[in-house]
């Protein structure tokens, strides 16, 4: 595999991990931060905006998954894909924990 395919694997993981919270919040009818909110990433966007943002992430993640050949049987590609999921998931958990009052 080429080096850029490993980068595609990593970002496939990040985009697909980002799909989940936006899709779940959107189809649940809840407002949730997106890059389109005011202020970006901190304000709350409508459920519809979240579903659209989630679907965008799903499409990009799928394209990168194909480019990175994650399912080719290459263990390193799969590990890099899961690393992308871990990185975005842990970062998101810290950022989004601040949106809820304690």
Over its length of 102 residues, how does the chain's per-residue pLDDT go in tens digits? 899 999 999 999 999 999 999 999 999 999 999 999 998 878 899 999 999 999 999 999 999 999 999 998 889 999 999 999 999 999 988 887 876 554
DSSP letter at 1? -
Rg (CA), the chain: 15
Question: What pLDDT score does 40 carry?
Answer: 85
Rounded CA gap, 22 and 47, in Å? 8
Q: Where are the beta strands (DSSP E) in 1-102?
A: none
Rounded CA gap, 14 and 37, in Å? 20
């Amino acid at each position: 595999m080429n080096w850029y395919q490993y980068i595609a694997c990593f970002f496939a993981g990040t985009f697909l991990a980002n799909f989940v919270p936006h899709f779940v919040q959107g189809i649940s009818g809840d407002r949730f931060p997106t890059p389109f909110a005011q202020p970006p990433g901190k304000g709350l966007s409508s459920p519809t905006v979240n579903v659209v943002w989630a679907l965008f992430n799903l499409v990009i993640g799928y394209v990168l998954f194909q480019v990175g050949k994650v399912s080719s049987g290459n263990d390193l590609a799969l590990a890099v894909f899961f690393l992308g999921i871990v990185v975005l998931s842990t970062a998101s958990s810290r950022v989004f924990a601040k949106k809820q009052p304690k």
